[in-house]
Amino acid sequence: MSRPDTDTPLIQKLPTGPIDIIGDVHGEAEALNALLAHLGYTATGHPQGRSLAFVGDLVDRGPDSPGVVRKVQSLIQAGVAQCILGNHEMNILRGLTKQGNAWIFGKTESLDNTSTIHHQVAVNLTEREEMVNFFKKLPVALERDDLRVVHACWDNSCIELIRNDPFSLETFERHMLRIDREIESHPAMDNIDRGLRRQNHNPLKVLTSGPEQRAPRPFEANGKIRKQERKRWWMDYKAQPFCVFGHYWRTMVPGLPTGNQLFEDHMAEQALGPGFSMCIDYSVGGRWRERTNPDFQGKYVTRLAALRWPEKLLLYEDGSSFQVGNIQV
């Protein structure tokens, strides 16, 4: 895979002034357009000079990932927005076929091991190359004096390891080679510890998909038996600036399986842990489940959210909002 035309720092500065941070979109172009309208954005910007930041995972699962990417590209080109890499964009950069990314790899698939075939707008080879080149140029974190934005986890040691690196895929592969050599030098290491080392010792994996730990007992997820579980890193995050992230499916209602246990001691619209961080992924990546449910009445419970800063206001694509009261700044 070729390098991008220009080197892009993996850690970039956020602009000053009021900003709207949008959670994982996952190909839900209709929801994104509705949210942008409620936020007050047009193709040329915002009447009050606000700016946008996307936390990554623009793509996969939803019906129109190409439409989402093109919309975000146009906002970036207009000087209105910034966007960072999520783990789904990283999977595409690595050429990994995963559930939900058939739209770019030219396959028909079901999602979450169900028999439901999920329609997605696809791209041709030329469009695929254009989108891959766009992903190559995205940073993995954004920062300013009062705010940090990352896809899955803010870890200062990982940030400093890659701060001066210009290209995400090369950085990822370099660290994976290093970790593989470390594993080879410890032949007694069991498979779980090998998996944890590959997850937790690669800074790009930590930042885009979060740290993990050994699970107390094996569990089933998406049809697979897993022995590693996600770590609630935000419970120990007691730092300034305030950190906004996505990745972990947060839900408004019980019953959506992903992420509930991670947030079981928090209300859905609260900051997390001591109040210095907040996940704004409200499970829009699972919206396809609602559409394919025969009892669906047209009102979604999954949401696409934006956190307005410095107002500390959550705004959703249906126009509803919530004032977050426990943010520590």
**What does the pLDDT look like over 282-299, one tens digit per residue?**
999 989 888 888 888 888
| CATH number of domain containing 112 | 3.60.21.10
Which residue would you say has higher pLDDT here, 289 or 146? 146
Q: In percent, how much of the chain has pLDDT > 70?
A: 91
Does residue 206 sit within a domain?
Answer: no
Does residue 190 sit within a domain?
Answer: no
Query: How far apart are the C-alpha atoms of 23 and 224, rounded to whole Å?
Result: 27
Helix, strand, or coil here: 32?
helix
**Strand ranges of the sheet holding 51-54, from the earlier edge strand across to the other edge:** 81-83, 51-54, 19-22, 305-309, 313-316, 321-323
Mean pLDDT across 162-183: 89
Which residue would you say has higher pLDDT here, 119 or 182? 182
Could you tell me the residue range of the domain that residue 60 belongs to?
17-173+230-323
Does residue 143 sit within a domain?
Answer: yes
Query: Tell me, what's the pLDDT at 107?
Result: 65
Which residue would you say has higher pLDDT here, 8 or 182? 182
Mean pLDDT across 203-225: 87
DSSP state of 48: T
pLDDT band at residue 179 using 50, 70 and 90 as cut-offs: very high
Query: Tell me, what's the pLDDT at 146?
Result: 95
Mean pLDDT across 184-212: 93
Query: How far apart are the C-alpha atoms of 88 and 62, rounded to whole Å?
Result: 12
- Lowest-confidence segment of 136-145, 195-204, 241-250, 291-300 by average pLDDT: 291-300
Does residue 9 sit within a domain?
Answer: no
Residue 84 has pLDDT above 50, yes or no: yes
pLDDT band at residue 224 using 50, 70 and 90 as cut-offs: confident
Q: Which of 282, 242, 235, 243 is nearest to 57 (CA)?
A: 282
Phi, psi of 84 (to 5 degrees): -115, 165
Does residue 52 sit within a domain?
Answer: yes
Into how many domains does the chain fold? 1
Residue 192 has pLDDT above 70, yes or no: yes
Query: Tell me, what's the pLDDT at 259?
Result: 46
- Lowest-confidence segment of 37-41, 110-114, 195-199, 230-234 by average pLDDT: 110-114
Cβ distance 316 to 262 under 8 Å? no
Does residue 207 sit within a domain?
Answer: no
Query: Tell me, what's the pLDDT at 7?
Result: 67
CA atoms within 13 A on the CB side of 233: 23
Query: How far apart are the C-alpha atoms of 326 and 271, rounded to whole Å?
Result: 6
Does residue 215 sit within a domain?
Answer: no
Does residue 169 sit within a domain?
Answer: yes
**3-state DSSP percent of the chain in helix, strand and coil, to 5:** 30, 20, 50
Query: Tell me, what's the pLDDT at 8?
Result: 77
Query: How far apart are the C-alpha atoms of 84 and 169, rounded to whole Å?
Result: 14
Query: Tell me, what's the pLDDT at 240?
Result: 86
Q: Which of 145, 116, 115 is nearest to 13 (CA)?
A: 145
Query: Tell me, what's the pLDDT at 264?
Result: 79
Mean pLDDT value across the chain: 89
Query: Tell me, what's the pLDDT at 255?
Result: 47
Give CA angle at 73 (69, 79), nearest 5°.
150
